[in-house]
A and B are shown apart, each in its own frame.
Chain A
């Protein structure tokens, strides 16, 4: 008994350890995932600004990569009217372009050119300025062409390109960018890109120093303002406030503990930066928002683990009970076998010890041996048939039974067996039953035997009542014995289960009721028990007439 208690206790502590362990893991998991989440969000705060910058700069990049190079397609043939049309399309699509200055340029042998290199002069034929107003483009010719630093810069680049570029192999992208673009804070200057053929022609032009011919070239300077650039905050959850600020902008007062990051703007906007600001609570809200599903998931996993743990625990405890039952069975069965075996042993040794046997002695020993052998046989039969029953490998041998005679027979037998056993019965209005007498007999045997066994010596009484209801026959065995405790009621029909008390210290395998239940079930009926401690129990067996 002590051993079993130990097993129980061990199991319980394991369970506790398990629960504690997974609870700790759960808390750690929550803690770690929260921290990771905090890190992740903070990292995103620092890194996602590139997305915002990219989206904000999209129109600028579009202008730079697609719209401006379109000038090259005109091959220098733009004039004030077509340039105005071009400027209109620029203002229409890119509102951050404040104005455009268009230089109608001539490359030739002019003596009074602004830039003269290798006999090739680059000069301004006309300058026009365009700016948008109320959705329309306004233009103005600028007559003073003397002081144009943008033009001078571009002209000298152009002149270098004409002189130095390799017409045999073509120019690299880098060379083209250096020669035809000039990107300064607030403005982009561009002149149409010369092909190798153009360069060849221009070089040939140098060989005609007296020719008054010239090649046309277009140059444009785009003045941009960041004020009209629309900030596209694609990560509103991270940045509460995104503004365009000058590069030097750095407000010293940050008492609120705001989170701040910045991204420089490219190209012509390089004087400016994107300034990202978020309040401390702003990010916490975002962190919590992102943490919720993670926490829910961790909780779900935790619950799942607990459930699994509980299932394992339940499984384990059932196994322990089973183990205990089997242990009892072996214990009790051994005892049960032991009694007849020891009787046989005594009879045997008496037989061999006594030199001469009287007739009475011989008969007595013979009877004892016979009876004890029968007991052993019965025990083994019980065990065998029980296994058979469990495996459903026996057949019912039906025959007609007259219930009254049947009950009488058993009553007589037990009166003989236990003279102090008061058995009474009542059978009324039942039809003969059509079933296996051996099975029914086993049920009677067991129930009557139990009634005797579990009664106080002075109160060994049993009342058998047989009645019928509709299609069933009902056998009721009521004793005035010790009764069964309420919590044991469900267990009494279990295999190898014995109620622990003084009446079954030996000679019971705990099979009897289980066997009865198996038999009744096998016969298609059912068995129930009502009991009160110290008042008695009533076993009711209900069997169908037909099955």
Chain B
């Protein structure tokens, strides 16, 4: 008898040990969401220095490292406000940076002499926003900036001399220009005007000529100019005019007609590109298929990438910055299991040096892989998504957290996602879904989501969960849904209309009322109103439908435990309405089943580290409590 007992005990001990090995040790919450130590790496045009931002007394300050002796020097020592991430090197090897003095609403623009480390204020206007939009190699002291000094609603273009602090207006905004595309010489011949929805590309042959519209788009089509090719009046652009998926094309600026297609992918929109100002050449284009994809248009760059990918196998690689000679490159890498690292690559000697990790506390081995998946929705449409399984041998019957993205006209891509990794580390399978209406898959897929909020969009999410239940990945008794904004709506909708599917829901800055969502379109911006009506619904003709799906009108349907986070200064949220919503829910379901965190000093996304940590700790606790067994 005793012998049997001993054997049983031994078996039990072994089982427990095995179970421990299978389950990853929980990584502290803070490790996932910590602000990176060093960010915004840049290299000087002469290739002698690299610069980055690093906290000094809790504020981001500028540090410079000499590549000759490897010494790090602290260039600034601000203790009042951080330096903004959009600092830049001039062609004269000076650093220009901005400081946002929030209390007095003042932007200070500084120039830093690298040799002496002396800083001086260039301009410090109040109540304006400034951003750099172009530098000119031939006039290294002059930068092109946009600033809303004349009219707070409109940005004008100025030429600013860093040395003399001379500020000259270059382009006055008639009121609707939202984007400028400067040439390599700093001249602007191409601009984009927008009323919020409808976009017009305007062109002028030279500074003296007036702009004339050449291409008009509405919210269904888009043309994103890149740069002039230097041949004739052709410019490069990403366009989906007359095709389903955006492609890299050449457009004749004279008449806006498409001249030729340079590259097109047949399964996704071309989303990004890399352009060399030195060579006036587009080097590569990227798009998101299941994983990020690249197509090289420049053999030299392809050589560099090929070399790097042998050295940094398995990593996604991007060039973050380069010197004028295109010899030294700052490389940023990442994977789904790694938030990323910075490297310095010297082409002439083929040397790769690691500069630092974005989050050195995380070990890629302890994180989980993000697998692209796809399934057929109930009406036959193919839906893509990503599934992240927790570490360990178990791949079936896992507790599942569904994370529908915000938007709804947005996109989930492959890569490192701290929320996903956090949840996977805690033992949950995490499901991201690019339901119809998501961008990046072409116009047809995008417009398939029109007027489908609370309809087929939601059905796609439900179909995805059912698919995961059917292929035994998910434990049908342990499913939670978690999202922000429209994702929050999807969560509330899910628990209202599929109460048997989800154990609980977590909502961040949730969209609870579509009338509110629609009202965000200012009435004088008719196209935007039109777009909202077309994409989401018309509050007058579709009122019944909007009322039927808005959580605020369906409180009685919500019965599962809820966790709600909201920043009180979120411009788009109606706090009194949300408070009322929560109060009613608490009255109906009991206080302990509706946890509500209203943070008075936060906007849409929580900025304060304390609040973020509290939020994720609460999420962990909430899931822990509600994912044990379905009530």
Within 8 Å by CB of A73, from B153, B571, B575, B577, lies: B577
Q: How far is the CB of B602 from chain A (nearest CB, A)?
A: 12
Is A79 in the interface zone, CB < 8 Å from B?
yes
B526 to chain A: closest residue by CB: A213
Is B569 in the interface zone, CB < 8 Å from A?
yes
| Contacting pair B515 A66 (CB below 8 A) | no
B520 to chain A: closest residue by CB: A197
Name which of B522, B539, B543, B573 has the most chain A CB atoms within 10 A of its CB.
Answer: B522
**Residues in B543-567 with C-beta less than 8 Å from chain A:** 543, 547, 550, 552-553
Q: How far is the CB of B511 from chain A (nearest CB, A)?
A: 12
| Contacting pair A201 B522 (CB below 8 A) | yes
Name which of A195, A201, A211 has the most chain B CB atoms within 10 A of its CB.
Answer: A195
Alpha-carbon gap, A195 to B575, bound state (A) = 8
**Residues in B134-162 with C-beta less than 8 Å from chain A:** 153
Q: How far is the CB of A41 from chain B (nearest CB, A)?
A: 34
Chain B residues with a Cβ closer than 8 Å to the other chain, count: 29
Over the window 200-214 of chain A, the binary record of Cβ atoms lying under 8 Å from chain B Cβ atoms (1 yes, 0 no) is 110011011001011
Is A76 in the interface zone, CB < 8 Å from B?
yes
**Residues in A173-229 with C-beta less than 8 Å from chain B:** 173, 176, 193, 195-198, 200-201, 204-205, 207-208, 211, 213-216
| Contacting pair B573 A73 (CB below 8 A) | no
Residues of B within 8 A of A195 (CB): 516, 571-574
Q: How far is the CB of A408 from chain B (nearest CB, A)?
A: 83
Residues of A within 8 A of B523 (CB): 108, 201, 205, 213-216
| Contacting pair B513 A73 (CB below 8 A) | yes
Is B66 in the interface zone, CB < 8 Å from A?
no
Alpha-carbon gap, A170 to B540, bound state (A) = 28
Size band of the A side of the interface? 20 to 34
Alpha-carbon gap, A48 to B571, bound state (A) = 45
Given known contacts A66-B580, A195-B572, A75 and B543 CB-to-CB distance under 8 angstroms: no
Is B348 in the interface zone, CB < 8 Å from A?
no
Residues of A within 8 A of B552 (CB): 73
Is B584 in the interface zone, CB < 8 Å from A?
yes
Residues of B within 8 A of A170 (CB): 568-569, 575
Within 8 Å by CB of B513, from A66, A75, A201, A215, lies: A75
Is A267 in the interface zone, CB < 8 Å from B?
no
Is A284 in the interface zone, CB < 8 Å from B?
no
Within 8 Å by CB of A76, from B519, B522, B575, lies: B519
| Contacting pair B577 A72 (CB below 8 A) | yes
Residues of A within 8 A of B153 (CB): 204, 207
**Residues in A62-79 with C-beta less than 8 Å from chain B:** 66, 69, 72-77, 79
Q: How far is the CB of A67 from chain B (nearest CB, A)?
A: 11
**Residues in A344-363 with C-beta less than 8 Å from chain B:** none
Alpha-carbon gap, A49 to B520, bound state (A) = 47
Over the window 518-533 of chain B, the binary record of Cβ atoms lying under 8 Å from chain A Cβ atoms (1 yes, 0 no) is 1110111010000000
Alpha-carbon gap, A170 to B576, bound state (A) = 11
| Contacting pair B515 A193 (CB below 8 A) | no
| Contacting pair A66 B520 (CB below 8 A) | no
Given known contacts A197-B520, A205-B523, A213-B526, A73 and B572 CB-to-CB distance under 8 angstroms: no
Within 8 Å by CB of A176, from B519, B520, B522, B576, lies: B576
Q: How far is the CB of A512 from chain B (nearest CB, A)?
A: 76
Is A82 in the interface zone, CB < 8 Å from B?
yes
Residues of B within 8 A of A470 (CB): none
| Contacting pair A204 B569 (CB below 8 A) | no
Given known contacts A77-B543, A169-B569, A170-B569, A69 and B580 CB-to-CB distance under 8 angstroms: yes
B574 to chain A: closest residue by CB: A195
Residues of B within 8 A of A198 (CB): 519
A193 to chain B: closest residue by CB: B576
Residues of B within 8 A of A176 (CB): 576
Over the window 232-257 of chain B, the binary record of Cβ atoms lying under 8 Å from chain A Cβ atoms (1 yes, 0 no) is 00000000000000000000000000
Residues of B within 8 A of A213 (CB): 523-524, 526
Over the window 171-187 of chain B, the binary record of Cβ atoms lying under 8 Å from chain A Cβ atoms (1 yes, 0 no) is 00000000000000000
B538 to chain A: closest residue by CB: A77
A212 to chain B: closest residue by CB: B524
| Contacting pair A204 B543 (CB below 8 A) | no
Residues of A within 8 A of B524 (CB): 204-205, 208, 211, 213
Alpha-carbon gap, A216 to B580, bound state (A) = 22
Alpha-carbon gap, A73 to B569, bound state (A) = 19
| Contacting pair A75 B518 (CB below 8 A) | yes
Residues of B within 8 A of A108 (CB): 523
| Contacting pair B515 A197 (CB below 8 A) | no
Alpha-carbon gap, A162 to B34, bound state (A) = 40
A81 to chain B: closest residue by CB: B543
Residues of B within 8 A of A211 (CB): 524
| Contacting pair A75 B539 (CB below 8 A) | yes
Alpha-carbon gap, A211 to B526, bound state (A) = 10
Name which of B513, B518, B575 has the most chain A CB atoms within 10 A of its CB.
Answer: B575
Alpha-carbon gap, A156 to B300, bound state (A) = 68
Residues of A within 8 A of B547 (CB): 82
Residues of B within 8 A of A76 (CB): 515, 519
Q: How far is the CB of A88 from chain B (nearest CB, A)?
A: 14
| Contacting pair B574 A77 (CB below 8 A) | no
Residues of A within 8 A of B543 (CB): 77, 79, 82
Alpha-carbon gap, A76 to B543, bound state (A) = 11
Alpha-carbon gap, A432 to B539, bound state (A) = 125
Q: How far is the CB of B517 from chain A (nearest CB, A)?
A: 9
Residues of A within 8 A of B574 (CB): 72, 193, 195
Alpha-carbon gap, A79 to B516, bound state (A) = 16
Given known contacts A66-B584, A205-B522, A213-B526, A74 and B571 CB-to-CB distance under 8 angstroms: no
Residues of B within 8 A of A207 (CB): 153
| Contacting pair A200 B518 (CB below 8 A) | no
Q: How far is the CB of B151 from chain A (nearest CB, A)?
A: 9
Q: How far is the CB of A171 from chain B (nearest CB, A)?
A: 9
A196 to chain B: closest residue by CB: B571
**Closest 9 CB pairs between A and B?**
A77-B539, A75-B515, A201-B522, A213-B523, A213-B524, A75-B519, A211-B524, A208-B524, A195-B574
Q: Can you give 5 A-B contacts (C-beta < 8 A)? A: A75-B518, A108-B523, A195-B571, A197-B571, A214-B523
- Residues of B participating in the A interface, judged by any CB pair closer than 8 Å: 153, 513, 515-516, 518-520, 522-524, 526, 539-540, 543, 547, 550, 552-553, 568-569, 571-577, 580, 584
- Residues of A participating in the B interface, judged by any CB pair closer than 8 Å: 66, 69, 72-77, 79, 82, 108, 167, 169-170, 173, 176, 193, 195-198, 200-201, 204-205, 207-208, 211, 213-216
Given contacts A73-B515, A73-B577, A195-B574, 11 further A-B contacts (CB under 8 A): A73-B553, A75-B519, A77-B543, A82-B547, A170-B569, A195-B572, A197-B519, A204-B524, A208-B524, A214-B523, A215-B519
